[in-house]
């Protein structure tokens, strides 16, 4: 029997059946693709309902709404570093937005909610919400292997995306010569680190400022 690899396209001959009112296939034959047959996994993958170009344009516009210079520099640095991954990776292996482009689509949906909250309530730092919304799950590009046959990486299993993105924020600050002890850097890191809300849910700290609390509730 030929060895099949996760993520590659295969051809099957099967009979469609129903089991417990759910459709299923009884596979009769399975083989690898032959020359001339469709074999690009991207042709068979679920993708975000918005095209990559649209997601890119919207992220670019949101960056201009981050008026705090420190946060904007960090966001721009990390999005330049992980541009392709951010717009192609899923937001999760299976739980939510588990499709190509899901990470960008999910992150933008959080920013949309943050924009609505900012419009309704005074004395909320919209720049911090937008920066946190864009960055909160960016560690998924290190935690996961990619959009095809998605698995957790070793770093993903052992460290997790929250700590991984905090490490990237720290590295960005060093590269940009930003003061990690400044209030701007501390509240940005706190907002990202606290976005799961509870220690039991994976955050190393609970939200201590209102913007972090808002981010946590937007992501619930």
Beta bridge partners of 29: 13
State the pLDDT at residue 220: 66
Please report the pLDDT score of residue 49 as a whole number. 83
Taking only the tens place, the pLDDT of each residue in 143-172 is: 999 988 889 999 999 999 999 999 999 999
Q: Within the chain, where are the H helices? A: 52-65, 69-81, 83-88, 102-120, 126-135, 140-143, 154-158, 161-175, 183-193, 210-218
Domain boundaries, the chain: 10-43, 46-218
pLDDT band, very low/low/confident/very high, at 90 (cuts 50, 70, 90): very high
Query: What pLDDT score was predicted for residue 31?
Result: 79
Nearest by Cα to 197 from 186, 207, 188, 183: 207
Nearest to 129 by CA among 86, 66, 199: 66
- For the ranges 5-14, 24-33, 86-95, 114-123, the maximum mean pLDDT occurs at 114-123
pLDDT > 90: percent of the chain? 67
pLDDT score, position 2: 60
Q: For 102-148, what is each residue's pLDDT tens digit?
A: 999 999 999 999 999 999 998 999 999 999 999 999 999 999 999 88
Instruction: State the average pLDDT for the chain.
Output: 91
Number of H helices and E strands in the chain, helices first, is 10, 2
Whether the predicted pLDDT of 204 surpasses 70 = yes
Give Cα 125 to chain centroid, integer Å: 23
- Burial of residue 181 (CB within 10 Å: 0-12, 13-18, 19+) is exposed
Q: Are 161 and 142 spatial neighbours (Cβ–Cβ below 8 Å)?
A: yes
Token output for 57: 């344009």
Cα–Cα distance for residue pair 196/205, rounded to 1 Å: 9
Percent of residues, the chain, with pLDDT higher than 70? 98
pTM, rounded to two decimals: 0.85
> How confident is residue 94, by pLDDT bands cut at 50, 70 and 90?
confident
Question: Is a pLDDT exceeding 70 seen at residue 1?
Answer: no
Residue 209 CB: number of other CB atoms within 10 A? 15
Instruction: Supply the pLDDT for residue 47.
Output: 78
């Amino acid at each position: 029997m030929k060895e099949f690899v996760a993520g590659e396209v295969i051809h099957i001959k099967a009979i469609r059946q129903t089991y417990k009112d759910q459709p299923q296939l009884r596979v009769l034959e399975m083989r690898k693709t032959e020359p001339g047959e469709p074999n690009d996994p991207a042709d068979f993958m679920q993708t975000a309902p918005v095209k990559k170009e649209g997601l890119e344009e919207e992220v670019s516009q949101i960056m201009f709404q981050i008026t705090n210079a420190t946060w904007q520099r960090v966001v721009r640095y990390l999005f330049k570093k992980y541009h392709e991954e951010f717009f192609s990776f899923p937001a999760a292996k299976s739980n939510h937005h588990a499709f190509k482009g899901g990470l960008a689509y999910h992150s933008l949906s959080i920013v949309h909610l943050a924009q609505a909250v900012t419009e309704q309530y005074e004395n909320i730092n919209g720049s911090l919400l937008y920066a946190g919304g864009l960055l909160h799950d960016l560690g998924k590009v290190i935690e996961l292997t990619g959009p095809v046959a998605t698995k957790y990486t070793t770093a993903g299993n052992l460290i997790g995306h929250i700590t991984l993105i905090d490490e990237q924020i720290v590295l960005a600050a060093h590269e940009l010569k930003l003061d990690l002890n400044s209030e701007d850097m501390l509240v940005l890191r706190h907002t990202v680190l606290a976005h799961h809300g509870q220690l039991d849910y994976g955050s190393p700290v609970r939200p201590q400022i209102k913007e972090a609390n808002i981010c946590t509730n937007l992501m619930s």
